[in-house]
Every structure is written in C-alpha cells, then in structure tokens.
Amino acid sequence: MRTLAQSLKQTATVGTRIPLPWPALDRTLELATKELNLVPGAPGAGKSVFALNLAMSQTTPVLYLALDDASSVLARLSALELGVEIRWAIDQMRDPDLKERMIGEVGDPHPNLFIEDGALTIEGIESRLEALTEVLGTAPPLVILDNLIDLIVPGYSYTDMGFYSTCLPELKAMAKRHNVCILALHHVTRRGGESQNPHGLGTRALKMTDLLYSGEREAAHVIGVYHSVQKDRMFVQILKQRDGDADPEGGLQIPLLWHPKLGSLGRA
C-alpha cells in the first residue's frame, strides 16, 4: 500500500499520448499507451480504413497485425502512399513485373511501420512485440490488431463470450506491461445476418449495446465507425472514453471525409 504521493513517484501509470491526424477528433479523443481500445463496426464500415490512415500518420513505430488479410492491407497502404485507387494497386500486385515497378514507386517511406501477416494467439502477439522491441530498443507505441475475431483463442470461437472474457483482459495487461496502445478492430456481430442487422452495410450509427462484446470493463475507449449512404463521409463515434466525453448511445461523433476508392480519410 502507498499514499497518493508515494504512488505518483512510482513508474508512470499514465501513458504517452497517441496523436491523431484529424484535428477535431484529436481534440475530442485522447488515445494513449498503456491502454486497450476497441474500434467496432459492421463489415465494410471502415474500421481498417481508419486504422491504416492512423498508422500511416505516425512518426513513431507502429506494429500492424494483419490477422485477416495482409494482401488487402498492403494494397491499401500502397494506394495511400501513391494517391491511386486501391483496385489499381491490387491489379499491380497480381502481375510480378507490374508489382516490381510499383514497389519501386512506393519505396520505403514508412520504415517504422511493421506489418505481421496471419492469425496469432495472445502469446504469438506478445512474442512478436518483444522481438520488435528488442530490435528497436523500445516498444512501438501503437499496436493495431486487425481483426479481433481472427485472434486464436484455444477452446473458443469468436461467437463465444469466453473468447472475449479470455482475450481482452490479456490484451489489456499486455498494453500496460509493454507501455503500448493496442487498437483492436472489432466486428459488430450481435444480430446475425444482414436482413436482421441494420448495421450490415455499415451505414447506421452504433450503440454500445450493438456489440457482441462491448468491452465496457477492459477497453479504455470504444470508438465506433460507420459511413454515409453516399460513401463520402465516415463518422467516428466515441462510445466510451475513460476520463473524457463519450456517449454510449452513439450521439458523440466526428465526421471525416472519406474517399473509398483511394482509402483515404481527411477532415470534413
């Protein structure tokens, strides 16, 4: 047991701020290391778009865990860097000669962005984080998990509550242990098929109760995403924010300009 003064003298319990590239959102949402954060959204709502634009904006190291499909991640990152359509980048990647030419055009503008391909267990994530920390001399401040449901949790499917009650506390402990911000993308899957799920097309605002597992306890922030029917705006909702403004009913949201073919996000 310690007094307040003694506790404050211990190793810092408040993490380092993660800057956001969108001024209005950066003023409203404070992400930091030592935190687990969830980004829920329906399939196609824009979770990966949000995460990739955030990753590209960082000047400090980022570990991007592409648990689902690294080829899509690589195509989107290449399109963002070159300012071209994602479809064009995918076509280049299919042809060895065109792919080699695209690699030369892209270069290596983000040497601190590290991408890991394939599904992992919690232990697998930690081993890769430790390996990267050894190489860099410090842990990467931002770790992006794309997607949470692709995590391997022995004995559980992502449809089981035990999946989340097992992995989320461990991810939260890992974030504190390594002084990193873990941003876990999370599918909204509570209501089944698209005909029964108003979020099936990613065009409806979320509430905390829409999540299969809301992470009310473990996550410092729950950040919902959805987009306009016209696909020209993405809305970032602050459903939960520790020590900050939030609305679990989905009313606190920041609009961003979205260019789907390019995969880019800008201030609205």
188 contacts: CB under 8 Å, gap ≥ 6: 40, 41, 42, 45, 197, 199, 206, 210, 211, 212
Q: Which CATH number fits domain 16-267: 3.40.50.2300, 3.40.50.300, 1.10.10.10, 1.10.1060.10?
A: 3.40.50.300
Burial of 254 (0-12, 13-18, 19+ CB in 10 A): buried
DSSP reduced 3-state for 263: coil
Question: Residue 66 phi/psi, 5° resolution?
Answer: -85, 80
* 233-241/221-227 β-pairing: antiparallel
Beta carbons of 232 and 53 less than 8 angstroms apart: no
The tens digit of pLDDT for each residue in 43-78 reads 889 999 999 999 999 999 999 999 988 899 999 999
User: pTM (2 decimals)?
Assistant: 0.91
Q: Domain-by-domain residue ranges, the chain? A: 16-267
Q: What are the structure tokens assigned to 101, written together?
A: 């030419």
pLDDT of residue 192: 42
Cis peptide before 112 (omega within 30 of 0): no
pLDDT of residue 159: 86
Beta bridge partners of 117: 66
pLDDT of residue 9: 64
pLDDT of residue 6: 61
137 contacts: CB under 8 Å, gap ≥ 6: none
Give the C-alpha separation, 206 to 199, whole Å.
Answer: 8
Q: Read out DSSP for 1-18?
A: ---HHHHHHSS--S--EE
Cis peptide before 147 (omega within 30 of 0): yes
Q: What are the structure tokens assigned to 162, written together?
A: 């035990």
Residue labelled with tokens 């609305």: 247
pLDDT of residue 50: 97
pLDDT of residue 194: 45
Per-residue pLDDT of the chain (268 residues; tens, 9 = 90+): 665 666 656 656 778 999 999 999 999 999 999 999 999 999 889 999 999 999 999 999 999 999 988 899 999 999 999 999 999 999 999 999 999 999 999 988 889 999 999 999 999 999 999 999 999 999 999 999 999 999 999 999 988 889 999 999 999 999 999 999 999 999 886 544 444 555 557 899 999 888 867 567 899 999 999 999 999 999 999 999 998 999 999 999 999 999 999 999 998 7
Q: What are the structure tokens assigned to 196, written together?
A: 């029964």
Give the C-alpha separation, 45 to 252, whole Å.
Answer: 17
The tens digit of pLDDT for each residue in 164-207 reads 999 999 999 999 999 999 999 998 865 444 445 555 578 999 99
